[in-house]
Amino acid sequence: MYQEEKTFYVRFSLEAQFPDDYEGEDDAHAWLHDWDSRVMPEVLKSIFTTLRKFPSWSARVRNRGMAQTEEIEITLMRDYSKPVDS
């Protein structure tokens, strides 16, 4: 079977700023925990909600050995080898 591929990246760089008198890690990285537990799941839900609007594409999360807190890869596939439903 012949297959073509293209990679497209959306990258989030997270930053937190603190006052000058901050001693470092006083908040136990609460800002990062907020991203991991609240923000990122909502972002992923929104992505998959949008992708489901295009049934000719199938989407799934692919794990390539990286921790989910470091990378989430979403694989999209459009299969032309199957008949198209009309």
Domain that holds residue 75: 56-86
Question: What's the pLDDT at 66?
Answer: 85
Residue 59: partners with Cβ closer than 8 Å, 6 or more residues away: 48, 51, 52, 74, 75, 76, 77
With a cut of 50, list the residues of the chain below it in pLDDT. none
Q: Tell me whether residue 79 is in a domain.
A: yes
Q: Tell me whether residue 86 is in a domain.
A: yes
Question: What's the pLDDT at 85?
Answer: 62
Mean model confidence pLDDT for the chain: 90
Total domains in the fold of the chain: 1
How many C-beta atoms lie closer than 10 Å to residue 40's C-beta? 16
Question: What's the pLDDT at 12?
Answer: 94
Q: Tell me whether residue 71 is in a domain.
A: yes
Question: What's the pLDDT at 84?
Answer: 66
* pTM greater than the 0.85 cutoff: no
Q: Tell me whether residue 65 is in a domain.
A: yes
Q: Tell me whether residue 78 is in a domain.
A: yes
25 residue type, one letter: E
Question: What's the pLDDT at 1?
Answer: 87
Q: Tell me whether residue 27 is in a domain.
A: no
Q: Tell me whether residue 19 is in a domain.
A: no
